[in-house]
Amino acid sequence: MLKSVYVRDYMTTRLVSFKPETDIFEAIDVLLKNKISGAPVLNEDGDLVGVFSESDCLKSFLNAGYYEGQAGGGCVRDFMSSQIDSVSPMGDIIELAQTFIEKGRRRMPVVEEGKIVGQISRRDILRAVKDFAQNK
């Protein structure tokens, strides 16, 4: 059994993020360049207002194909997920792994006192599992 490990021990703190007005194509370039599948969306005050992912990119192109017959486009705000689940830095990584499985999530923003302080992904949890297995 994996011992309790906190989210803060494995979360990423150097975040790639988007603004709501970021162009979809610019966002795609950022995702591809950084080899990530999604990132938080922050307003001008640094508040978390959404999450933008590869799935959201695909939605933008499907929407354009069905309704406009063109290659897509728009802003991150038009397609981001605004219903945001988040986790505390003191959250248990085992419980979070269960949440990822149950909700089909790939990543989750880490929020403390209303501000985003990091992000944790399935890959981060895999690092925790590997560390535990190697340091029994």
In the chain, what are the domains?
Answer: 7-134 (3.10.580.10)
Residues of the chain below pLDDT 70: 1-4, 64-72, 136
What pLDDT sits at residue 57?
A: 85
Q: Is the dihedral of CA 83, 88, 89, 95 positive or negative?
A: negative
66 secondary structure, DSSP code = H
What pLDDT sits at residue 34?
A: 94
Helix (H, G, I), strand (E, B) or coil at 93: helix
What pLDDT sits at residue 117?
A: 95
The Cα 30–Cα 16 span in angstroms is 8
Residue 61 to residues 41, 54, 72, 75, 103, Cα–Cα distance (Å):
19, 11, 5, 12, 24
Whether 50 and 80 have beta carbons less than 8 Å apart is answered as: yes
Both tokens of residue 98? Answer: 């269960």
What pLDDT sits at residue 108?
A: 93
Residue 123 to residues 37, 71, 73, Cα–Cα distance (Å):
11, 32, 30
What pLDDT sits at residue 52?
A: 94
